[in-house]
A = this chain, B = another copy of it.
Amino acid sequence: MKELLDYITTIHDISVESKIALEEICSHESIKKNTDLQPIGHTCKTIYFVVKGGLRIYYYKAGIDITEIFEFENSIVARVESLFSGRPSRKAIQGIEDTELIAINANRLFELYDTSPELERLFRKIFEDAYVKTVNRIESLQFHTAEQRYHQLIKDHPEVLKRVPLKHIASYLGITQVSLSRIRARR
């Protein structure tokens, strides 16, 4: 829990009371590498915080496994398109490695917003930051070549290359594994 509270402090500091209230709706979980946290088709009601290890959100498009995003230590992970719409998610969350995480009960969190505006503000800021990242990702997908996107990724997040199989990196970049192999061979 300490890791989550430290992370929170960097975003928006909250009172001891709110920290206690938050702690009450959190639980520790751990999953093995390549194991799903929640199945595809269920409505997302959990916000995860990665304590150790890494997660990826993925889905199937025409039978092919596509990685939407990966996150490692000290990151928030949620299937927001389900969490904020209340609709079932076509996506699943999976451990990239053996992973320890904190699960925040989203429904109870949203209830807490009524009594603790500072908690509402904290998570508003967390998701605003995530929103900004997503907008920047659009820019990258929209008009950079696959090769540019690959080099940008290893520049911004060199650790990804060591921790994530290339097939997942390929689908994250929006290309096939073969295409990524070719890009890597050029140089």
Contact = CB atoms under 8 A, between A and B. Distances in A.
A125 B139 CA distance: 23
Nearest to A143: B61
B131 A66 contact: no
Contacts of A108: none
Nearest to A128: B84
Interface of A: 59, 61, 64, 66, 68, 80-81, 84-85, 113, 117, 120-121, 124, 127-132, 134-139, 141-143, 171-172, 174
Contacts of A142: 66, 68, 141, 171-172, 174
Contact of A131 (B131, B136, B141): B131
Given A84-B132, A127-B131, A129-B84, A141 B174 contact: yes
19 contacts: A59-B139, A66-B142, A68-B135, A68-B138, A68-B142, A80-B128, A80-B131, A80-B132, A81-B132, A84-B131, A130-B131, A131-B131, A131-B134, A134-B138, A138-B138, A138-B141, A141-B174, A143-B171, A143-B174
